[in-house]
Amino acid sequence: MKKSLLILLVASMFFVFAACNNAADPNANTDDDVQKADDPEAPIIEEVLGDPAELEEQLGIIINMPEEYPVSRYAVINENQAQVEFYVGSDLVLGRVAKGNVENMSEVTATFDHDETVDLNGLSVRLRYDDPENTSNNTLGVADAYDAENDVTYMVSLLNNGTQENLMTAMQALVDNTTFSDATAPAGDDANTGDNADANAEG
């Protein structure tokens, strides 16, 4: 029962975002910014809501997804999280990035058939997902990761087809295409500044 309510809650969140994409937005990008995905299953986004520049200005987080992962919306959430909604194939992904160690950024507390930790190119990622045969096609899946070296938290969730493969693909896409501005970069990005930079120069 709790999981059903949770899925309905997450579904409503996705539907709200989808509805917003159909509404006029003064901050939406122009027709010149229409994203055309290489993946034939991915939708063509007519309007990208929100402004990625706000993520950098407010949080120092830069998310620049390639065309194969078309973006439908950017937003700042809870004053400390950069949120991006993008597609893996035809499936909508809700991605979030925050500086620091933010526990359970998805706010999902339900029990899943699988709750495992995997290594994704050196990053420890917690995957939570159900067996498709035990559920309907609306299969919620969540992935969380904390990059201790750079003190950054990542999260992706899929309302549909939240499989292990799709979660890992979405997480890899988010991590690979997130950078940080110099003024507010995580500690791990400052290796060549200050004393370290002087030492490298002397070397």
pLDDT at 89 over 70: yes
Section 69-98 average pLDDT? 96
Please choose, from the candidates 147, 170, 145, the residue with its C-alpha nearest in 3D space to the C-alpha of residue 85: 170
What pLDDT score was predicted for residue 44? 79
Section 105-119 average pLDDT? 93
pLDDT band of 43, cuts 50, 70, 90: confident
Section 38-67 average pLDDT? 87
- Say which residue, 173 or 27, is predicted with more confidence: 173
Contacts of 52 (CB under 8 A, 6+ apart): 62, 63, 64, 74, 84
Q: What are the two backbone dihedrals, phi and then psi, of residue 185, each rounded to the nearest 5 degrees?
A: -70, 150
- Ranges 134-148, 153-167, 176-190: which has the least confidence: 176-190
Q: 152 pairs with which residues across the strands? A: 99, 147
Section 55-66 average pLDDT? 96
Token pair 């400390």: residue: 80
pLDDT band of 25, cuts 50, 70, 90: very low
pTM comes to 0.72
